[in-house]
Amino acid sequence: MKARLRAAAAALILGGLFVGLLAGVRDLPPIGDPSSPASTHVSPRFIEEARRETGALNMVTAVLADYRGYDTLGETAVIFAAGLGAFVILAASIGGPRRETPGPGLSHRVDSLLLDTAARVLAPFLLLFAVYVLVHGHVSPGGGFQGGVLFGLGLVTLRLVWGPPRPDRAASRFGPGVRASFLLASAGLLAYIAIGIAAMAFGGAFLDYGVLPLGQDPAHVRELATLGVEAAVFVAVSGTVAVLFETIAVGVAETGRPLPNEDPAPVEAREEG
Amino acid sequence: MIEALAGLLVALPLAGAALMPMVAVLRRRGTRWLAFGLHLLTFAAAAAVFARTAATGEAIAHRMGGWPGPFGIELRLDGLSALIALLVTGLSCFVASAPVDASRGATRRASPVREGLVRGALSMLVAGLVGIAATRDVFNLFVFLEISSLAVYTLVASGGGRATVAAFRYLIAGTAAGSLYLLGVGFLYGLTGTLNMDDLAARLPGVEADAALTAAVALIAAGLAIKAALFPLHGWLPDAYVFAPAPAAGFISAVMAKVSAYALLRLLGETLRGIPAGAMALETMVWLGTLGVLVGGGMALAQRDAPRMLAWSSVSAMGAILLAVGIGSPLALAGALFHVVAHALAKGCLFLGVGGLAETLGAGDRRALRGLGRRAPWTAAALTLAAFSMIGLPPTAGFSSKLLLLRASLAEGGPAGVAAFVALLASSGLAALYFLRVLEGIWFRPRPEGRPAQRLPRALAAPVLSLAVLVLLGGVFSAVVEREFVSGAVEAVAGATADER
Amino acid sequence: MTPYALAAALFTLGLGGMVLLPNLVRKLLAMNVMQVAVIVFFIALATKDGGRVPILEPGETEAIAADFMNPLPHTLMLTAIVVSVATTGLALGLLIRIWRQYGSLDERILLSRLRGSGDDATRHGAGDDATRHGAGEPPR
């Protein structure tokens, strides 16, 4: 009875939300209307001036890394926060003591000729393409995040097939690989902040790239600095992707060993699947 | 120069959030003093900015990337933003040097690496909260909301065990809140083409699309109300506060929901005030806040577990703050802001103290606190002061803020004002019941047999005592607090709306 | 209109799933659906009849606003996607811990185990009132 009441209440609220949203969107300017406020206020400057003001052909990159570069710093912080959180939640001892018996699943090398060969062929292209996506962000779809995710996934591909970077320390719960990735992630975020503060040191506002002494043409200077912050984002994101993968993979693989603040005795009854 | 400080206010703790985990992983120690230094530095910057806004009455702006107004993102610290930033950074100093989750007993002391990581998360939380307070861009506010959210989930989850489940529920509620807010921002953007708060306030009155505006206001208000734990959207709060490690719980309970209440005040009370739906949302908030005051107080009375009782009393306090924000008169806003400060100090003190004791004792049952008065009189006195402030007894800060709130709701009149007045009075009565029950045990009952002696870890004792002193000072010098701290903040919001009328 | 309606439907579905589904993994997936709804909404806002992708050709120097899609919502959604990814990553970490400790990700089973689990004993000592914790919370 109680459950039915709850379901009825939920249906009512959700139905109300849906109807309310539909009523709301009917009032918005029609989709594609070139005279809508979104198309005529603020955004024209990004379209018409981005090339001259920031040097970027890709207007999305110009807005992302320059006009609204502060959002992108926040975005980098968010992704780093996720890596940090996963690390706190799942990492017991970083580079900790050796484990006596090899763990199951992802903590050791998979012996398969097929996988090994495929990884050897695919990985270099994946990693190279990631860098291409990064540096080409100015003129085509791409940028630090997209490239960083690709690079991180390239690392994960290798990690999946080859096992941890130091097989002799495969047993250590968080080996040098994840440590390095984590350091990389924090270095990326720090580099972004450093670029922002450097601009302040040269008399501009935070992240005001134009004042940096990198050349004569301000648009060109901004273009260079944009590449700099995109690279910082790239490093932070690829590091975090690797950290997230590693902590989650090891967290699953090492089920049964206590984590920090975890009860030593695991629950007996486990469900299947 | 001062503008540069405003720009650094977020960048400093953010750099700390990246730096401390790095140092922890590389060097394994040293993060404790690094954390303390960084938080102190940030606090100094916030204090300088606050002093300047208080002296000149003008806001300090920093244009990120040098881009003006609606094209770039602007940080602007007026009296209100500066007060919130001051509160957040100041309180963070108290917990920055506490051992992050070592209070679970000497046997389970956390490794230095882990401490560094958790300190990084705390620094991240400060960056997010100060960012929310400082930004003038509604989308940037979303980004900072998510930064603070991810950091707070991490801090809650670092308690392990049931805290993990509490953190997940918090994450689901928090992300729903973020998505609601962001969809609301989408509506506003579709209607006006801008994300800048000042630009929005200027353009919104010219928009003729009532249904869409109502949807936008409802989505934004609902999203932020979840974050601010407005009844009945408070479901995430009790577990998250109870199971977080004591220092984290102290900080989170002091500022987390209140910064979202600030965002509600900023957006509904200022940016969206010109439209009818905004006024309706504020009215609803008065009623829901009133209900929250009563339900929170009642639930607190029903708890046997001391931290859980404190958590429910937070629901009640958030109700009081939000109902005053909903009333929106200068007097009510002064009451709301004074209550924000008073409650942050007192609740921080209580959560640090009771949480720390509960963790060292391994028990949160309020009977475990019996006999504390004899064993640790200073700690007991500090907790007593903070409890008095929660009830609203003189001479504490809570008395002055409650008085302002009561006056404001009387002055408002009408059914909502009267209901709010009655609820606030009743909540003081309820708080008296549930706090005096605990205090009686602390001072007049012997320590229960077979329980270990209560003693607060030293790193927690200093913050507890100093917060209690601040609670007392805030009450004794309430006129000074009102004049120097609160009135500038009220003018920043109410002044703008008074011109409009 | 259609993309907006789609966004509204996805948003409602996602929110409903987050509140009603008992399995925590499904809650997480529903959360992602909700976030995708917001992205659909913003991208619909960005379209402009007769506009093209907001990237200039290498030789192009002059641009007229009417010829290009609005780049701002695209940028915002790039940020929103990253937020969504980050939240999902952290949530997965939490889920693994929950599963390791309680052996289930079903809210109903979890609730019963939480009430009876030994964790209360380590944290709250008095075992007799362990069942009372959370007794007064509203059902979610």
Residues in CB range of B382: below 8 A, 6 or more apart: B349, B353, B464, B465, B467, B468
Range C26-42 average pLDDT: 95
C122 lies within 8 A of chain A by CB: yes
Look at A266 and C122 and tell me if their CB atoms are within 8 Å.
no
Q: What's the gap in Å between the CA of A20 and the closest CA on chain C?
A: 9
Q: What is the pLDDT of residue B207?
A: 86
Neighbours of A128 (CB within 10 A): 13
Long-range residue pairs from B199-207, CB within 8 A, at least 24 positions apart, any chain = B199/A42, B199/B69, B199/B70, B200/B138, B200/B271, B200/B272, B201/B270, B201/B271, B201/B272, B201/B273, B201/B274, B203/A37, B203/A41, B204/B271, B204/B272, B204/B274, B204/B275, B205/B274, B205/B275, B207/B275
B57 lies within 8 A of chain A by CB: no
Query: Would you write out chain B's pLDDT as a tens digit for each of its 501 residues?
Result: 788 888 899 999 999 999 988 888 887 667 788 888 999 999 999 999 999 998 888 889 999 988 988 899 999 999 899 999 999 999 998 888 776 654 444 345 567 778 888 889 999 999 999 999 999 999 999 999 999 999 999 999 888 778 889 999 999 999 999 999 999 999 999 999 999 999 999 898 888 888 999 999 999 999 999 999 998 899 889 888 888 888 888 899 999 999 999 999 999 988 888 788 888 899 999 999 999 999 999 999 998 888 889 999 999 999 999 999 999 888 999 999 999 999 999 999 998 888 888 766 655 566 677 878 888 888 889 999 999 999 988 889 999 999 999 999 999 888 889 999 999 999 999 999 999 988 888 888 887 776 666 677 777 888 899 999 999 998 888 888 888 888 888 888 876 554 443
Q: What's the gap in Å between the CA of B192 and the closest CA on chain A?
A: 5
Look at B131 and A74 and tell me if their CB atoms are within 8 Å.
yes
Name which of B238, B247, B246 is nearest B310 in CA terms: B238
Name which of B290, B347, B275 is nearest B324 in CA terms: B290
Name which of B99, B138, B100 is nearest B244 in CA terms: B100
B233 DSSP assignment? S
Mutate: best of A84, A246, A267, partner C, most C CBs <10 A: A267
Name which of C133, C139, C116 is nearest B302 in CA terms: C133
Contact present, C25 and C45 (Cβ < 8 Å): no
B42 lies within 8 A of chain A by CB: no
Say whether pLDDT at C75 is over 50. Answer: yes
Name which of A199, A251, A190, A200 is nearest A224 in CA terms: A199
Where do the structural domains in chain C lie, given as residue ranges?
A: 2-54+66-121
Structurally, chain B folds into a number of domains equal to 1
Tokens 């207007």 -> residue: A59
Total CB pairs under 8 A between chain B and C: 120
Say whether pLDDT at C135 is over 50. Answer: no
Contact present, B12 and B44 (Cβ < 8 Å): no
> Which helix or strand (DSSP H or E) is residue B18 part of?
helix B2-27
N-to-C CA span, chain C = 33
Look at B25 and A94 and tell me if their CB atoms are within 8 Å.
yes
Residues 38-97, chain C, touching B (beta carbon < 8 A) = 38, 41-42, 45, 73, 76, 79-80, 83, 86-87, 90-91, 94-95, 97
Name which of A60, C85, A36 is nearest B189 in CA terms: A36
Q: How far apart are CA A77 and CA A68, in angstroms?
A: 15
B243 lies within 8 A of chain A by CB: no
> Cis link prior to B232 (omega < 30° from 0)?
yes
Q: How far apart are CA A104 and CA A251, in angstroms?
A: 11
Neighbours of B449 (CB within 10 A): 5
Return phi, psi of residue A215, to 5°.
160, -175
Give all chains having 3 or more CB-to-CB distances under 8 Å with chain B.
Answer: A, C
Query: Out of A37, A43, A87, whose CB is closest to B117?
Result: A87
| CA-CA-CA-CA torsion sign (C83, C89, C93, C98) | positive
Q: How far apart are CA B483 and CA A57, in angstroms?
A: 53
Residues of A in contact with B113 (CB under 8 A): 93-94
| Choices 1.10.287.3510, 3.30.360.10, 3.90.1300.10, 1.10.10.370: CATH for C2-54+66-121 | 1.10.287.3510
Residues of B in contact with C104 (CB under 8 A): none
Residue type, B68: P
Nearest CA in chain A to B211: A24
Instruction: Kindly report the pTM of this predicted structure.
Output: 0.91
Residues 56-115, chain C, touching A (beta carbon < 8 A) = 56-58, 60-68, 70-76, 78-79, 82-83, 85-87, 89-90, 92-94, 96-97, 99-104, 106, 109, 113
Query: Would you write out chain A's pLDDT as a tens digit for each of its 273 residues?
Result: 678 888 888 889 999 999 999 999 988 888 888 888 888 899 889 988 888 888 888 889 889 988 999 999 999 999 999 999 988 888 654 434 444 444 444 555 667 788 888 888 888 899 999 999 998 887 888 888 999 999 998 888 887 787 665 544 444 455 557 788 889 999 999 999 999 999 999 888 898 888 888 888 888 888 889 999 999 999 999 999 988 888 887 776 665 555 555 544 344 333 333
Nearest CA in chain A to C60: A57
Tokens found for residue B37: 């230094």
Q: How far apart are CA B223 and CA A17, in angstroms?
A: 13
Cα diameter, chain C: 77
Q: What is the pLDDT of residue B363?
A: 55
The ipTM of this complex is 0.91
Tokens 């980050």 -> residue: C86
Look at C117 and A267 and tell me if their CB atoms are within 8 Å.
yes
Residues 11-70, chain A, touching C (beta carbon < 8 A) = 14, 17-18, 21-22, 25-26, 28, 30-34, 38-40, 42-44, 46-48, 50-52, 57-60, 62-64, 68
Looking at chain B, how many residues does it have?
501
Q: What is the pLDDT of residue B149?
A: 95
Look at B168 and C24 and tell me if their CB atoms are within 8 Å.
yes
DSSP for A158-182?
Answer: HHHHH-SS-GGGTTSSB-HHHHHHH
Residue B406: C-alpha distances to residues B281, B327, B476, B484 (Å): 21, 12, 19, 21
Torsion of CA C101, C103, C107, C113, to 10 degrees: -70
A90 lies within 8 A of chain C by CB: yes
Exposed/middle/buried for residue B202 (C-beta within 10 Å: 0-12, 13-18, 19+): middle
Look at A80 and B19 and tell me if their CB atoms are within 8 Å.
no
Q: What is the pLDDT of residue A259?
A: 55
Mutate: best of A206, A207, A212, partner B, most B CBs <10 A: A206
Q: What is the pLDDT of residue C76?
A: 94
Contact present, B252 and B238 (Cβ < 8 Å): no
| Residue B223, domain extent | 2-500
Q: What is the pLDDT of residue B298?
A: 93
Look at C138 and B232 and tell me if their CB atoms are within 8 Å.
yes
- pLDDT (tens digit, 9 = 90+) per residue, A134-169? 988 878 888 889 999 999 988 888 877 876 655 444
Total CB pairs under 8 A between chain A and B: 205
C67 DSSP assignment? G
Tokens 């968010």 -> residue: A78
Q: How far apart are CA B465 and CA B468, in angstroms?
A: 5
Contact present, B250 and B355 (Cβ < 8 Å): yes
Looking at chain A, how many residues does it have?
273
